[in-house]
Amino acid sequence: MPIPRSGDSAPATEPARDSGSRAAATASRTAGFGVWIRDLTISLAISAFIIIFIYQPVKVEGTSMMPSLDDQERIFVNKFVYRLEPIERGDIVVFRYPRDPSKSYIKRVVGTEGDHIRIDGGQVYVNDVPLIEDYVPPAYTDSRSLHEIVVPPQSYFVLGDHRSMSNDSRDFGPVNQSYIYGKAVFGYWPMDKLGRVR
């Protein structure tokens, strides 16, 4: 077999090696893209599940829950929590407005089923005990009164924290549990309100 002299062409093995490398690189990129699509699909599915079944972002409209929640504030509502635990006094709940279920309201629970509720000159009494409401600053109180009512079964008496600006159970009565679909749990915008809703 002749030995190639200087200047002669070497056997044509490099182009085949380059072609194989390119094919491997292309296959690697295709596989990487497939993994990225898979991960994106899983992430979107998980996000959709969380938004549909657990947490829903909502925008507060109106001033009835000030200063706890401001107009246009963005919060997350937990739609699953009341499958695991009961609604309690002090919870801020989101519900369908009983007089027009196409609208949603957000208020604070002050009375649960069986509670005797009355309001005397703005002071709320639950079972004849004055309710301490440190979430209602003096500037947000009013002097409205309400004769005593008993909260019906599976219903809740709700009030806005901004008492002088709120349309609530003083006007439309207790809210049936079937209308309540979530609990306000976390504020995320504006950033100075970032944190757990209280």
Adjacent-strand bridge partners of 92: 108
Largest CA distance in the chain: 115
Catalytic residue among 107, 155, 166, 183: 107
Which of 131-135's residues contact partners 24+ apart within 8 Å by CB, and which partners? Answer: 133/161, 135/68, 135/108, 135/161, 135/198
State yes or no: is 183 an active-site residue.
no
Q: Which residues contact 56 (CB under 8 A, 6 or more apart)?
A: 76, 77, 79, 182
Q: Using DSSP, state whether 55 is helix, strand or coil.
A: strand
State yes or no: is 43 an active-site residue.
no
Q: Which residues are catalytic?
A: 64, 107
